[in-house]
Copies of this chain bind each other. A is one copy, B any other.
Amino acid sequence: MPEVLIHMVEGRTPDQKKALLQKTTQAVVESLDVKPEQVTVQIVESKADAKSKGGILFSER
């Protein structure tokens, strides 16, 4: 605890996702003074045609 969910479109590289998981864990550890093993982070990815901002699909940007 806590559990972090990061919602985004597919397409990031493995290195970017690894950095995201590790830096987010560190952010939680530093802010809440918890141990790293208490923190889970999951990236919930969707295809670009399954996400929009302002009604514009990420596959059409």
Contact, CB under 8 Å: B1 / A53: yes
How many of these chains are in the complex? Answer: 6
- Chain B residues contacting A58 (CB-CB under 8 Å) are 1
Contact, CB under 8 Å: B46 / A3: no
Please report the total number of A residues contacting B with Cβ < 8 Å: 49
Q: Which of A16-44 contact B (CB under 8 A)?
A: 16-28, 30-33, 35-44
Contact, CB under 8 Å: A17 / B49: yes
Contact, CB under 8 Å: A21 / B54: no
> Interface readout for A4-21 with B: 1 if CB under 8 Å, 0 if not?
111111001010111111
| A interface residue numbers (CB < 8 A to B) | 1-9, 12, 14, 16-28, 30-33, 35-46, 49-55, 57-58
